[in-house]
Structure 1
Amino acid sequence: MASKKRKKKSKMRRILIFPSMVIIAVLIYKFIFIPEAWNLSEKSSYDKTVLVPFYDSVSIPSDSLQSTHAILIRLDDNTVMMEKKSEERIYPASLTKIMTAIVAIENLPDLKEEIKLTNSTFEGLYEANASMAGFQAHENVRAIDLLYGVMLPSGAECCIGLADEIAGSEQKFAEMMNQKAVDLGMNNTHFENTTGLHDEDHYTTVKDLAILLNHALENDTFREIFTSSRHTSQSTNKHPDGITFYSTMFKNLDTPNVMDGKILGGKTGYTDMAGLCLASLAKVGEEEYILITAGAKGDNRSEQFNISDALTVYNSLGE
């Protein structure tokens, strides 16, 4: 009888020990043989957003960021260094224009080609209080100047002009933008327009925008535009001296320098529903990083909390 009890206990121990060994083996494999597991962002029990580089750990208390959503990625190896509600839906406002620009660049055979803006190009834009680059109806503008107009002063008329030229209408161009989002794996994104004007069905996440910006920066033309602080367009039939554009980010940035580095470029965005947004690129030390933030309080006339958040994050990397 005692022998049977001992055998029964021994069998139970084996049953309990086996799953424990499996769990230990999985954990060993995950953290030793899959190094990426060390590079993902973590959240502490004190609700802090934690940066986790390979060798250092820099934490940023969540209440030090005005933005409600954020993601920081090291470009060299696509390591996510920080996340804050990165997969929750947001309204992208003018960060939409990153997609508008890269789709246009990839579908224009000649960036020096002149595109004629028409009366329909401007329909509804002034009424919607859309940001404009300064071009006029019946103006002939080079495609490359329209692209600078999209990204630096955030010109809505430039977006529509490119969309009409490439796809025949803004609606058809938005379909191209959505197909590009699918191709890139932006699984929580849908575009209704080229400008980022508010629409309930026009949404994304900061994680998807990071995927987009990462891709776009691989294009030399896009990178050149994205990192420019100013640009003067070529002479046109309406502006003989051209128009000089200034980056909305650099215009509100006292200095691009951060600790051990520099902010290289960026695109701002704002609507009442989206809050202040920013997609930026910086070099800190020997590494390049992209940071996407959204949902900061304020507006175009207030303190630019999207930019101050970028300074906070990039400076923390240089400490």
Structure 2
Amino acid sequence: MILKNKPISVGSLKRLALVIPVVVSAAFTAPYAHAIETAAKQAYLVDMETGAVLLDKKGNELMPPASMSKLMTATMVFERLKEGSLKLDDTFPVSERAWRKGGSKMFVEVNSRVSVSDLLRGIIVQSGNDACIVVAEALAGSEEEFARNMTEHARTIGLEQSTFANATGWPDPNHLMTPHELAELAEYIIRNFPDYYEIFAEKSFKYGKIKQGNRNPLLYDNGGGDGLKTGHTEESGYGLVGSAERDGRRLILVVNGLENAKSRGREAERLLEWGFREFGNYELFTAGQEVAEARVWLGAKDLVPLAVEKDLTVTMSRKDRRSMQVKLVYNEPIPAPILQGTPVARLVISAPDMDSIEVPLVATENIERPGMFRRVTSAIKYVLFGASAN
């Protein structure tokens, strides 16, 4: 058999490109890992649609997440709201322990009751440690048990390294997350709780007589930022889990270890701007769209049409897009019978500065074996004249 390695022109891709983007793969993350320098100790930038990692600086390194871990605290509430065991107008009691907690506060009153709606805003907008403890004690009986529940839930949603020791992000040697998993958690929230995600874009919240502004700098720069959460402790430095959307494309950014709030805001804006400017999402094929044809060995038809199973959108640098190559790879000829939907070839997308992306191609129709006479004559032609005679 012959290994067929056939280029498909970029011009053909332009004619075939359609408009429904779907996640395919992020097999090309490594080449962009240090494409831009950053003052952050840890940084991770990902395209949410395709999963392509544009920047990875210690993305899988465990670090103190500070208040960025309040995203998991909020997620525990979102899950209960979604399943219906909790309502926004339900109220929780404020213990003395919650009331006395230091750090950033919502300023709840001891022995009062606070609605879930207000507590969520106290956690997300005001970063209130007191609000986190109120929620933890109400949902799990104690903050310690709630933290154990947070770690267990992290595993169920695919966060394999994160461990939680409290509901607030208060410094603790057992309270750790990676930038990668913070980005995954942000994506989980955006995809699964769109109605509650809107809270992250609220610029201020007033509880009682105290109004506090959201510390997220991305909400104020007109760059499409609409979430998610800042964090700061002496140990972790200044950090941010941020997300921005422009023209239907969403990036998620995690930075940590910056020196002050000003540098956090400046660096987050700069990295997001770089991601939107230097990279694009390119829609190549739609599900079921014929990409090419492959030759068939001893089949009722000489050619079988090939298609991608899912809509294919890839993220790459705009420079790489200009030199992108697309090749069809398969063992020629493919022996009949061929069952519709069977993977029989690969589409390989490559460019100089990125890892190749490989996408399976499936047969779009059944190809049966012909009668004995046709099989014999086809075999003789192949022996005498090769694949071109088939």
Larger Rg: 2
Cα distance in 2 for residues equivalent to 1:254 and 1:75: 19
Cα distance in 2 for residues equivalent to 1:38 and 1:215: 21
Equivalent residues of 1:160, 1:170 under 8 A apart: yes
Q: Which amino acid aligns with 1:97?
A: K
Equivalent residues of 1:67, 1:305 under 8 A apart: no
Equivalent residues of 1:101, 1:222 under 8 A apart: no
The Cα RMSD (Å) is 2.2
Ranges of 4+ aligned residues in structure 1 off by more than 6 Å: none
2:66 counterpart residue number: 93
Equivalent residues of 2:26, 2:53 under 8 A apart: no
Aligned residues: 251
1:286 counterpart residue number: 248
Residue 305 (1) aligns with residue 263 (2) = yes
Which has the larger strand fraction? 2
2:343 counterpart residue number: none
1:244 counterpart residue number: 211
Give the superposition deviation at 1:135.
1.6
Q: Which amino acid aligns with 2:211?
A: T
Q: Which amino acid aligns with 2:202?
A: S
Give the superposition deviation at 1:265.
2.1
Equivalent residues of 1:256, 1:264 under 8 A apart: no
2:221 to 252, 256, 259: 256
CA-to-aligned-CA distance 1:202-250 (integer Å, 9 cap, x gap): 11100011111110112024311112212345xxxxx3xx643421114
1:73 counterpart residue number: 46
Alignment of 1:50-199 (within 5 A): 50=35, 60=36, 62=37, 65-108=38-81, 109-123=86-100, 125-126=101-102, 130-199=103-172
CA-to-aligned-CA distance 1:2-42 (integer Å, 9 cap, x gap): xxxxxxxxxxxxxxxxxxxx9xx9xxxxxxxxx74653142
Cα distance in 2 for residues equivalent to 1:293 and 1:272: 15
Q: Which amino acid aligns with 1:71?
A: Y
1:314 counterpart residue number: 272
2:202 counterpart residue number: 228
Residue 39 (1) aligns with residue 28 (2) = yes
SS in 2 for 1:257: coil
Equivalent residues of 1:104, 1:163 under 8 A apart: no
Cα distance in 2 for residues equivalent to 1:100 and 1:284: 28
SS in 2 for 1:226: helix
1:216 to 189, 196, 217: 189
Cα distance in 1 for residues equivalent to 2:219 and 2:115: 31
Structure 1, unaligned runs of 5 or more: 1-21, 26-34, 51-59, 234-238
Cα distance in 2 for residues equivalent to 1:304 and 1:294: 13
Cα distance in 2 for residues equivalent to 1:309 and 1:94: 18
SS in 1 for 2:202: coil
Equivalent residues of 2:238, 2:264 under 8 A apart: yes
Cα gap change, 1:230 to 1:67, in 2 (>3 Å):
same
Q: Which amino acid aligns with 1:263?
A: G
Which has the larger helix fraction? 1
1:49 to 6, 18, 34: 34
Cα distance in 1 for residues equivalent to 2:202 and 2:28: 31
- Report the TM-score, using the length of structure 1 for normalisation: 0.73
Structure 2, unaligned runs of 5 or more: 6-23, 278-390
Give the superposition deviation at 1:105.
2.0
Equivalent residues of 1:117, 1:138 under 8 A apart: yes
Q: Which amino acid aligns with 2:248?
A: E
Cα distance in 2 for residues equivalent to 1:254 and 1:207: 22
Residue 270 (1) aligns with residue 242 (2) = no
Cα gap change, 1:36 to 1:118, in 2 (>3 Å):
closer
Q: Which amino acid aligns with 1:186?
A: L
Cα distance in 2 for residues equivalent to 1:224 and 1:210: 17
Q: Which amino acid aligns with 1:257?
A: N
Give the superposition deviation at 1:161.
0.3
